[in-house]
Amino acid sequence: MRKFLIDTDTASDDAVAICMAFRHPDIEVVAVTVVAGNVPLDQAVQNALYTAELCGADVPTYAGASQPILRDLRTAQDVHGADGMGDIGLPLTGRVPADGWAPQVIIDTIRANPGEITLVAIGPLTNVAIALLMAPDIANKVERVVIMGGTGEHGPGNITPTAEFNFYVDPEAVRVVLRSGMPLEFVGWDVSIESAVVDDARQAQLRELGELGNFSIDIQATLQGFAWEETRLAGPDFPDPIAMAHAIDPSPATMEHLGVDIAIGPEPMHGTLIVDHYGFSQLEKNVNIVTHYPEDSFFGMLVDLLSDADAS
């Protein structure tokens, strides 16, 4: 069993990604840590706990940072709904997280399993950065670090013309992670809009799968409108699930090992991922950037894992 630790700001696409990991027969999710981002922290915790309950997963879930390292929190409730799950009336209150603080849990989990943990970060990187600032040694004790964030190969951004939401929310945390020495793999929003758009045909395919398939579409109710009106896609896209697909099986991916930094100054470049494709700035190569993940590989995995039949 491979050991995953998932760090999430749980909203509609995060929940689908978490389901994928919970359902995979060869993955043990050892912990879920939660950060503020798409929604405030308390709501993100409730969404994570609801998703685990729906999947029948007995996995400890821990609350972490309620705001970015140096900035006020900006949420994406206009994209995912006030509750982050499409505002469809799910019972997203009353559940209690495990005792413990997410950054410390990240440290303790990696130290207790040296060389064995795949850290999958699908929200702002605040929890991960705090953990690294507290315990820099964990950078060399983790097996893989798969991060959904930025736009690695080409634009656009999904919150500004050039910035992706997770990195925009806490760019200082991104810089800490980039300079940590962790074995980083970035799956950007550009990969999602190329290969993970859930158009009408894909939605119908997922709805045929049963409870989790319907859940994965129902909670996109607010995102569906955002896709039609703002990003002009054929349906909601799944950035966090395609990042999870890469964490589960990187073999279909095309990657480049490149020097990467983050813009932390004022608008308009705030939160923009800087990828040195041609070596102009002589940045040290620090990230494996996923430039392509095949659509068929992604949706094939998603269908297998969300099916009412046993995942295989």
Backbone angles phi, psi at 254, to 5 degrees: -100, 130
Nearest one of 145, 172, 137, 116 to 247, comparing CA atoms: 145
What is the spatial distance between Cα 127 and Cα 20, in angstroms, rounded to a whole number?
A: 22
Q: Is 271 helix (H, G, I), strand (E, B) or coil?
A: coil
**Residue 31 identity:** A
CA distance linking residue 171 with residue 269, whole number of Å: 11
Is 42 in the active site? no
Q: Which of 9, 170, 190, 240 is catalytic?
A: 9
One-letter amino acid of 101: W
Residue 183: asked if its preceding bond is cis (omega within 30°), the reply is no
Residue of 275, 295, 297 lying closest to 285 (CA atoms)? 275
Count of Cβ atoms closer than 10 Å to residue 308 Cβ: 11
Measured CA to CA, the distance from residue 18 to residue 61 in angstroms comes to 12
DSSP letter at 68 equals: -
Asked whether 144 and 183 are in contact (CB, 8 A), the reply is: yes
> Residue 157: left if φ>0, alpha if ψ -120 to 50, beta else—which one?
beta
* Ramachandran angles phi, psi of 7, nearest 5°: -110, 125
> Cα separation of 42 and 64, whole Å?
10
Which residues are part of the catalytic machinery?
Answer: 9
